[in-house]
Amino acid sequence: MGDFSDLLVYKKSFELAMDIFEISKSFPKDEAYSLTDQIRKSSRSTNICLIEAYRKRRYKAHFISKLSDSDMENSETKGWLKFAFECKYLSQEKYEKLTLQSEEVGRLLNHMINNPEKYGAV
């Protein structure tokens, strides 16, 4: 089995985190220590928890637990996206694009959670 960076979900979650980083640069300065930090943190944690899960795939329960953490962080990201949209920091188009990306990451993570043996978990 290859490295975690070969996983589609890794590539998609990294892309989402970077897209959020770029777009959040335009958020108001008074959001720097709240929404901006939170959405960047959760989107990056989605990716980092996935890396940690991959390294723990030798232990099925640990693997699934870390994937669940990644899925939780992705859900948090989706929540922050909704706040950013409602605060008018994101256009409808950007909000929908980022939300679709997050939903795709969620589907991929859930596939891993439900099929851990396909990813080397024992």
Q: What is the pLDDT of residues 95-112, one digit of tens each?
A: 999 999 999 999 999 999
Rounded alpha-carbon distances, angstroms, from residue 98 to 53, 70, 121: 24, 17, 30
Residue at 16 is within a domain:
yes
Residue at 8 is within a domain:
yes
Interatomic CA distance for residues 31 and 24, integer angstroms = 10
Residue 56 has what pLDDT? 92
Q: What domain range includes position 18? A: 4-113
Residue at 121 is within a domain:
no
pTM of the model: 0.94
Number of domains observed in the structure of the chain: 1
Average pLDDT, the chain: 96
Neighbours of 94 (CB within 10 A): 15
Interatomic CA distance for residues 76 and 43, integer angstroms = 8
Interatomic CA distance for residues 106 and 119, integer angstroms = 16
Q: What is the pLDDT of residues 40-49, one digit of tens each?
A: 999 999 999 9
CATH of the domain at 80: 1.20.1440.60
